[in-house]
């Protein structure tokens, strides 16, 4: 399922604002009392006093985590007012952190390195790993050997490629306080809290007939978790890392803005610790590795696949998704108004879904729906916005989906997904008679050329699709439109009946529209 | 209607020229800008809004140009209401911001059929011509570090992504190609790293310092 990716991705799907436009909400957990040596403690957003940091978070003095503390600590420190940041940035001091990082993000590696040596404060800021990630991906594409951090990766590559996992020795620097940088480190090193995973209120179904599914789930456009419909999939038994490495040897898969082989990707996934890990999300996996395409089949409920009338010209419709714990997709609506199913072969995913008319907390789509501003990372969303779900317009549908299960994502629904462990899944988007009219409407929109995803020829997709449907299924569109009108009329009738029934003063039949 | 709109601008124009006495260059620049605003207004033929910098300088700008600011776009204020902008430090900053907005609002955007949508869009969708890029670079060329800082804060505050890009790029350009010591000199930094630190960094970044 095409998702809302990190801004580094090529704008094939949702167009994304430049990453600077996300503003971090200040974490409430700023009141740490201990120096961040082993385990940070502080008032959590939910009142819980501890962060659950990943075990590896503080064992190496290698990343910025040991270099930055939240501003709250400054108040309680031995010398309040002595923020290294203030002393060490000179003329750059008035710049807020996000702008400062924007400027640094424009620098080539040499300049960033030269800057790092200018002062302690600049060393800290320039060590912000996402800066180095951009440099690695920009210069090496997918041909990098991940060395534990992006900075270490770049340094190793630039120093003649010694790809071992020993991190560059970090300078021991104390006294740098910054909420923005600290939050970034925190999100990269936190694990999901128990209370974020506790709710599981999705409807679970097993063994329903296709007719039942259509009538009770697809028509009403409700999410559901289906059990037991992957039993026939060879993938469930066969897809181990070894098997996948073997059959895909040498083939490169789409990972964010780059392509890379599976062995490189696994080496990255095993050692990464960042806010938004790169996610392997490939729309051509079955073409690249036909065995993968043969190891699964579309569950019976989703076999109606109307975009297939377009043949080779159909938009991207199926993806293999592989990612480590912490990877996922932040809130988005699937493009083209399609519906989707997501089947887990290995691992576990946490889902949070809102109906089409309810924008999730912390999410701000632009007026035309072309852009979605969401929090920096999934972890940050949970930290700062999950709590608001309790009192939101409508409470979300949530679940944890595990191997062998399938989640149905109805068209138009907002959804957020995070992998709780390394996960391998297959997802497809589709158009059936239930959402054909929606899809046609979507493609007719004036800005469709920006919004329509997954095809090369965006502008003519509506006409092509419409023409192809009329050719392959003559009368289908008219039939559906007729049925839709009938339903709308029936609803109106119902409404006006209530208007008259409730209006006691009228004393008679009254039209009210 | 036109005459009424004309009046406030003329007053501001006079005000700007009046200031020329104290700083001739600034005054010339300011009155040129005042003229540019008037011309733009006439061309646009639509409503204007009045902005006020933190130090009290007022400027009129067409609503079309103001659309480039995510904060100001869609405002219903008329020319009589003065919108105070506390994060736009000086009249000079305001003038530069307005100059940018007028220039970019007037540029034909490639690939969009709806020009008003294009004017308000972020830099993601905007294809900027080479000439325009040159113009942008010139806009920030002579500015001092303080001016740049003011401009950066103003662009950030007003949500003018394109201008923000330009100023960030300028700041980055001030860093590129310099040695560490030169960077310290440019930005007034004290070297607080210990010799041991510096030695480690030299090793870590040997590939960068090889020159």
Tens digits of per-residue pLDDT, A283-342? 999 999 999 999 999 999 999 999 999 998 888 999 999 999 999 999 989 988 899 999
Domain assignment present for B165: yes
Contact yes or no for B123 and A18 at CB 8 A = yes
Q: How far apart are CA B39 and CA B17, in angstroms?
A: 17
| Torsion of Cα atoms, A254 then A260 then A262 then A264, to 10° | -140
Task: Please count the structural domains in chain B.
Answer: 1
- Is 0.80 topped by the overall pTM? no
Domain that holds residue B87: 48-111+127-205
Contact yes or no for A114 and B123 at CB 8 A = no
Judged against a pLDDT cut of 90, whether residue A142 lies above it is answered with: yes
Structure tokens that stand for A435 in this block = 């959402």
**Binning pLDDT at 50, 70 and 90, where does residue A374 land?**
low
Q: How far apart are CA B72 and CA B180, in angstroms?
A: 40
Domain assignment present for B73: yes
Judged against a pLDDT cut of 90, whether residue A86 lies above it is answered with: no
Q: Tell me which residue has tokens 């159909």.
A: A314
Contact yes or no for A17 and B189 at CB 8 A = no
In this complex, is the C-beta atom of B210 within 8 Å of any C-beta atom belonging to chain A?
no
> Among partner residues A109, A118, A123, which is closest to B183 by beta-carbon distance?
A118
Contact yes or no for A119 and B169 at CB 8 A = no
Q: How far is A353 from chain B (nearest CA, A)?
A: 28
Tens digits of per-residue pLDDT, A229-265? 999 999 999 999 999 999 999 899 999 999 999 999 9
In this complex, is the C-beta atom of A154 within 8 Å of any C-beta atom belonging to chain B?
no
Q: What is the pLDDT of residue A453?
A: 58
Contact yes or no for A95 and B200 at CB 8 A = no
- Fold of the A194-472 domain: Jelly Rolls (2.60.120)
Domain assignment present for B1: no
Q: How far apart are CA A371 and CA A365, in angstroms?
A: 6
Domain assignment present for B107: yes
Contact yes or no for B205 and A18 at CB 8 A = no
Q: Locate the domains of chain A by residue range.
A: 66-189, 194-472
Tens digits of per-residue pLDDT, A378-398? 999 999 999 999 999 999 999
Q: What is the pLDDT of residue A512?
A: 52
Contact present, B98 and B85 (Cβ < 8 Å): no
Contact present, A392 and A332 (Cβ < 8 Å): no
Contact yes or no for A107 and B175 at CB 8 A = yes
Residues of chain A with pLDDT > 90, as a percent, come to: 56
Domain assignment present for B136: yes
Show residues of chain A in contact with B204, CB under 8 Å. 155, 168-169
Judged against a pLDDT cut of 80, whether residue B210 lies above it is answered with: no
For an interface test with B, which of A117, A150, A173, A367 has the most B Cβ atoms less than 10 Å from its Cβ?
A: A117
- Beta-bridge mates of residue A333: A414
From the centroid of its chain, how far is CA A460? 29
Domain assignment present for B80: yes
| CATH number, position B173 | 3.30.710.10
Q: How many other C-beta atoms are found inside a 10 Å radius of the C-beta of residue A507?
A: 7
Tens digits of per-residue pLDDT, A423-464? 999 999 999 999 999 899 888 876 655 555 566 565 678 888
- Mean pLDDT of all residues in chain A? 82
Domain assignment present for B21: no
């Amino acid at each position: 399922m095409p998702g809302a990716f990190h801004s580094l991705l090529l704008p094939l799907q949702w167009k994304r604002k430049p990453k600077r436009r996300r503003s971090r909400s200040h974490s409430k957990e700023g009141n740490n009392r201990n120096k961040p040596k082993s385990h940070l403690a502080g008032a959590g957003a939910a009142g819980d006093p501890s962060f659950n940091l990943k075990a590896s978070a503080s064992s190496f003095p290698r990343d910025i985590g040991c270099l930055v503390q939240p501003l709250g600590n400054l108040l309680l420190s031995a010398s309040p007012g002595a923020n290294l940041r203030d002393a060490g940035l000179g003329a750059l001091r008035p710049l807020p952190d996000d702008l400062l990082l924007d400027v640094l993000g424009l620098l080539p590696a040499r300049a960033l390195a030269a800057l790092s040596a200018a002062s302690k404060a600049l060393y800290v800021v320039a060590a912000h790993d996402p800066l180095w990630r951009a440099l690695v991906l920009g210069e090496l594409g997918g041909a990098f050997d991940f060395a534990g951090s992006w900075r270490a990766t770049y340094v190793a590559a630039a120093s003649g490629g010694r790809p071992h996992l020993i991190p560059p020795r970090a300078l021991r620097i104390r006294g740098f306080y910054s909420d923005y940088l600290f939050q970034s480190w925190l999100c990269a090193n936190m694990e999901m809290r128990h209370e974020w995973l506790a709710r599981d209120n999705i409807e679970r179904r097993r063994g329903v007939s296709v007719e039942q599914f259509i009538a009770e789930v697809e028509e009403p456009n409700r999410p559901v978790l289906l059990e037991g419909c992957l039993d026939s999939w060879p993938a469930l038994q066969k897809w181990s890392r070894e098997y996948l490495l073997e059959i895909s040897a040498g083939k490169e898969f789409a990972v964010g803005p780059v392509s890379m082989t599976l062995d490189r990707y696994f080496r990255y996934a095993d050692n990464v610790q960042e806010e938004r890990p790169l996610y392997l999300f490939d729309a051509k996996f079955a073409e690249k590795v036909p065995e993968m395409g043969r190891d699964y089949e579309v569950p019976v409920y989703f076999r109606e696949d109307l975009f297939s009338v377009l043949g080779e010209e159909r938009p991207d419709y199926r993806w293999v998704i592989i990612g480590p714990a912490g990877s996922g997709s932040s809130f988005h609506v699937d493009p083209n108004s399609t519906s989707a199913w997501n089947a887990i072969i290995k691992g576990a995913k946490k889902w949070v879904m809102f109906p089409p008319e309810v924008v999730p907390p912390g999410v701000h789509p632009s007026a035309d729906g072309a852009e979605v501003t969401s929090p920096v990372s999934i972890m940050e969303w949970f930290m700062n916005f999950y709590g608001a779900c309790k009192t939101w317009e409508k409470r979300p549908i949530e679940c944890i989906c595990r191997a062998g299960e399938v989640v149905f994502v109805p068209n138009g629904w907002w959804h957020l997904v995070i992998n709780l462990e390394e996960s391998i899944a297959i997802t497809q988007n589709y158009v059936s008679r239930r959402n054909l009219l929606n899809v046609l409407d979507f493609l007719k929109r004036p800005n469709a050329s920006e919004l329509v995803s997954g095809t090369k020829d965006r502008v003519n997709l509506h006409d092509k699709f419409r023409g192809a449907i009329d050719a392959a299924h003559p009368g289908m569109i008219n039939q559906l439109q007729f049925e839709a009108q009938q339903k709308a009329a029936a609803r109106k009738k119902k409404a006006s009946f209530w208007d008259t029934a409730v209006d006691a003063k009228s004393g008679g039949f009254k039209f009210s529209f | 209607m036109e005459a009424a709109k004309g009046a406030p601008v003329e007053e501001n124009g006079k005000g700007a020229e009046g200031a020329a006495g104290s700083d001739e260059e600034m005054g010339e620049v300011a009155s040129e800008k005042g003229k540019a605003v008037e011309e733009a207004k006439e061309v646009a033929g639509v409503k204007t809004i009045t902005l006020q910098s933190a130090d009290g300088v007022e400027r009129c700008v067409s609503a079309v140009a103001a659309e480039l600011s995510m904060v100001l776009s869609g405002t219903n204020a008329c020319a009589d209401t003065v919108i105070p902008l506390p994060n736009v430090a000086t009249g000079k900053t305001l003038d530069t911001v307005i100059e940018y907005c007028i220039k970019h609002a007037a540029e034909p955007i490639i690939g969009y059929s709806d020009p008003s949508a294009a004017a308000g869009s972020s830099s993601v969708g905007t294809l900027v011509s080479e000439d325009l890029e040159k113009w942008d670079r010139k806009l920030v060329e002579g500015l001092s570090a303080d001016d740049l800082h003011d401009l950066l804060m103003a662009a950030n505050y007003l949500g003018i992504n394109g201008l923000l890009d330009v100023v960030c790029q300028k700041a980055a350009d001030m860093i590129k190609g310099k040695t560490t010591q030169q960077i310290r000199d440019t930005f007034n930094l004290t070297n607080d790293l210990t010799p041991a630190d510096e030695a480690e960094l030299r090793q870590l970044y040997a590939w960068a310092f090889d020159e």
